[in-house]
Amino acid sequence: MKDMNEGYLTADGRQIGGVVMELKDITLRFGGLTAIEKISFDIRDGEIRAIIGPNGAGKSSMLNVISGFYVPSDGEVWFKGVRRGPMKPYEIARLGIARTFQNIALFDGMSVLDNIMTGRLTHMKKGLIAQAGWWFTGAAREEYENREKVERIIDFLEIQNIRKTPVGRLPYGLKKRVELARALAAEPKILLLDEPMAGMNVEEKEDMCRFVLDLNDEFGTTIVLIEHDMGVVMDLSDRVVVMDYGKKIGDGAPDEVRNNQAVVDAYLGVAHD
């Protein structure tokens, strides 16, 4: 068992740090429906943490708790050693938490570049009055600096050739990549990915897996993902939380989870040696 305050190196040489977020006895109710029941787990700095389970297990609800979109009915969320209370979405973004969505949420009429620029809004300080003065207030320099960071993301995700294309004209796989780019533009410390491979063909999945690994390796971004493709989960993740009917039934390294009989019975179906 690793000490929660100490980091360690993975087998492939990546640095995993101490606990950056703790979810303690999280319960989430919607009227008489309990979506999550007394679930606890932590997220370590620099790791890839997966949340899996069958449909209706409460995975997206948990991601919404982590992102601050839902406030738990009971339990506590601790971020960097401080208990997090109810916060507005822009406050969560300023903390360094960004996400993509299961259903793509982009502006179809805007270009790829402009969609990604919306991810920089929390980093842009100049208001309307400053914008009116453009060259004299520093707004022009701020715009240039933010566009430069967005262009680096475009290069990283290899979407240079579609940077001026309206998002509505793109195929599904590229839209997923643009949504990832917009989330990266916020410079998140924790990136939440809600089924990033859903609906993709094999080649698109391979590309997305490569980007996720490179993002984690090169930038040290902590990643929490929900994914139904177990091959992807077992290949990418450092640790896996398994949910079923709103309860936690497994938590550990991929091999531990894969050989957990409760997980096999509820979700995987066949144990792997």
Query: Residue 134 has what pLDDT?
Result: 43
Tell me what percent of the residues of the chain surpass a pLDDT of 70: 88
As a whole number of angstroms, the distance between CA 50 and CA 47 comes to: 10
Q: Has residue 167 been placed in a domain? A: no
Model confidence pLDDT, tens digit, residues 60-87: 999 999 999 999 999 999 999 999 988 8
66 domain-assigned: yes
Let me know if residue 35 belongs to a domain.
yes
Q: Where are the beta strands (DSSP E) in the chain?
A: 8-9, 15-16, 19-30, 33-44, 48-52, 74-79, 82-83, 97-99, 190-194, 222-226, 239-244, 247-252
Query: Which whole number is the average pLDDT over 199-209?
Result: 91
Question: What's residue 11's pLDDT?
Answer: 67
Q: Is residue 136 pLDDT above 50, yes or no?
A: no
Q: Is 221 contained in some domain?
A: yes
Q: Is residue 143 part of a domain?
A: no
Q: Is residue 25 assigned to a domain?
A: yes
Rounded Cα gap, residues 46 and 19, in angstroms: 10
pLDDT at residue 144 tops 80 = no
pLDDT in tens, 3-60: 456 677 776 767 789 999 999 999 999 989 999 999 999 999 999 999 999 888 999 9
Domain-embedded: residue 150? no
Number of domains in the chain: 1
- Structural domain boundaries enclosing 61: 8-96+188-268
For residue 118, pLDDT beyond 80: yes
What CATH number does the domain containing 38 carry?
3.40.50.300
Distance in angstroms (rounded) separating the CA atoms of residues 259 and 273? 7
The end-to-end CA distance of the chain, in Å, is 22
pLDDT computed for residue 133 by the predictor: 46
**Would you say residue 81 lies in a domain?**
yes
Least confident of 11-20, 88-97, 118-127, 240-249: 118-127
